[in-house]
Chains A and B, each alone.
Chain A
């Protein structure tokens, strides 16, 4: 039975590719339906081909406004979480201090907590303080949950770094600031970049915590959530497709650049 044997040897590959298809199927649907011309308010059934939505991506009221709010929050949350998280990582790897265990669990717990619990408890805090829900409360929440992920990413990189490199710099009469800027930071940079990228993605796509703490501010995920009740414009799919393409292009170009650099070094 050559066919059975052939299948048997490739069972893992076939199963893996089927899972990959399951993961990518929704993205295919999102892309195809960005060219749809739906009859009713909802864009769930295929009617006919049209490029209307691509020609007028901001044609839906409030959608591009929500997109810009999401981008602003994501940028500031990334800046805040990356800065605070990197500082914590350096303290954790490079120094001895009291209460290390408490600090570690304070960083681990937000990642082990269902989002809805963090969202609800943060809302009780804001309500008790009488804080005005909106842009700032969303930003505070996003920095909070992105922090732990930055610490994890940066810590891994700083830990694998040879401390003798810094000692060598010191021996060569580099001051502490110079050592940090010329040696430590460049080596830690990939970890910091990974943490920042993760923060941006997490913040931009966050729904549950935002849903609780947004007040009347509408981020892009909040807009999509609302449209699931009111009617889904095709433009949502246009944005979804564009985001997917930009992300893939971004990763591909960065891969090509690193490949070239490695070849030049070799």
Chain B
């Protein structure tokens, strides 16, 4: 492919390893790393250990907690809250898929078709970030309200009959149903899909599209055989950046959902902040962490892109 790009080779060697090793100041890197890494060790890694230890403790708020290696907490937590776990995975997967389907055309538009509007559209994608996401999520309450135009239109087009049949909505409402929660999740994490997609699309040499066209590929074939495979790094990091926060989210389920749409994040939040059952909450959070890490590792392996960082 390098023969196709006429750009001169970059001046700086890309590999940091090739740079000369400095003899002086052998301890400089450690001094530079120390404060930041210490911060991450104490306030990110150490809490994980505390959380693991809390999950096998027993006791009460009054008498204090003691480590008793009570692993049954995990089984009890899973037995009681597996529906919320499953729901989180389903909602997050649905939102990620929707983000990909909705985000791809926009990323493609910005990368190849926007012309002089490119910067403006880019700003419009990022700008909503600067309004508190809670305020924007509350706005969906207005948009999807029972007497609003969206629900009215869906109703008259009999879309709601279909979604009712699928179990995504209930009656003449969209609010307080799974559809509203997935819609909110999709909305909130869409920019995390668009930005990596755009970055990887932007790198594709436009002449590859021309070449495909010259070789009698139809636009759809060009997309399937050239554009999409080359944008895979963006697809992988975009889906991860959407799925992970969506699976742990409780804001959308709380603001737009009902008690029937509670996700695992909601359970962890109530256990920790209202019921104050710390061992169960810590166990649930630990399971969520392990599940996400396992899924992410598997996904990265299967999609074959290890150089995400």
Residues in A neighbouring B269, C-beta threshold 8 A = 116, 211-212
**Chain A interface residues toward B at CB < 8 A:** 12-13, 15-17, 19-20, 22-27, 29-30, 33, 44-45, 84-85, 87-88, 90-97, 103-104, 106-110, 112-118, 120-125, 127-128, 140-141, 143-144, 147, 151-152, 159-164, 201, 204-205, 207-208, 211-212, 220-221, 224-225, 228, 232, 236-237, 239-241, 243-244, 246-248, 251-252, 255
Pair A106/B37 contact, Cβ less than 8 Å: yes
Pair A103/B143 contact, Cβ less than 8 Å: no
A89: shortest Cβ distance to chain B, in Å?
Answer: 9
Pair B109/A125 contact, Cβ less than 8 Å: no
Pair A12/B244 contact, Cβ less than 8 Å: no
Pair A33/B142 contact, Cβ less than 8 Å: yes
B272 at the interface (CB under 8 A from A): yes
Pair A117/B289 contact, Cβ less than 8 Å: yes
Pair B128/A162 contact, Cβ less than 8 Å: no
Interface of B is mostly: helix
Report the count of interface residues on B (CB-CB < 8 A).
91
B296: shortest Cβ distance to chain A, in Å?
Answer: 6
Cα A120 to Cα B278 in complex, Å, equals 9
Pair B136/A26 contact, Cβ less than 8 Å: yes
Given contacts A16-B110, A25-B139, A113-B292, 13 further A-B contacts (CB under 8 A): A20-B106, A27-B128, A27-B139, A29-B143, A30-B131, A30-B135, A44-B141, A90-B32, A94-B16, A114-B245, A118-B44, A240-B135, A241-B131
Pair B36/A124 contact, Cβ less than 8 Å: no
Given contacts A122-B43, A124-B50, A208-B250, contact A24 B32 (CB under 8 A): no
Residues in B neighbouring A87, C-beta threshold 8 A = 32-33, 35-36
Pair A97/B30 contact, Cβ less than 8 Å: yes
Cα A163 to Cα B273 in complex, Å, equals 51
B133 at the interface (CB under 8 A from A): yes
Pair B54/A112 contact, Cβ less than 8 Å: no
Pair A220/B281 contact, Cβ less than 8 Å: no
B298 at the interface (CB under 8 A from A): no
A132: shortest Cβ distance to chain B, in Å?
Answer: 16
Determine which of A110, A163, A201, A237 lies in contact with B129 in the assembled complex, contact meaning CB atoms within 8 Å.
A201
A191: shortest Cβ distance to chain B, in Å?
Answer: 14
Pair A16/B123 contact, Cβ less than 8 Å: no
Residues in B neighbouring A225, C-beta threshold 8 A = 134, 251
Residues in A neighbouring B113, C-beta threshold 8 A = 12-13, 16
B29 at the interface (CB under 8 A from A): yes
Interface of A is mostly: helix
Given contacts A27-B131, A106-B40, A112-B296, contact A124 B139 (CB under 8 A): no
In the complex, chain B residues 199-225 whose Cβ is within 8 Å of any chain A Cβ: none
Cα A162 to Cα B9 in complex, Å, equals 13
B120: shortest Cβ distance to chain A, in Å?
Answer: 9
Q: Which residue of B lies closest to A114 (CB)?
A: B248
B103 at the interface (CB under 8 A from A): yes
Given contacts A121-B48, A123-B272, contact A224 B105 (CB under 8 A): no
Cα A232 to Cα B138 in complex, Å, equals 9
Cα A24 to Cα B11 in complex, Å, equals 41
Determine which of B46, B110, B121, B187 lies in contact with A22 in the assembled complex, contact meaning CB atoms within 8 Å.
B187
Residues in B neighbouring A84, C-beta threshold 8 A = 35-36, 39
B49: shortest Cβ distance to chain A, in Å?
Answer: 9
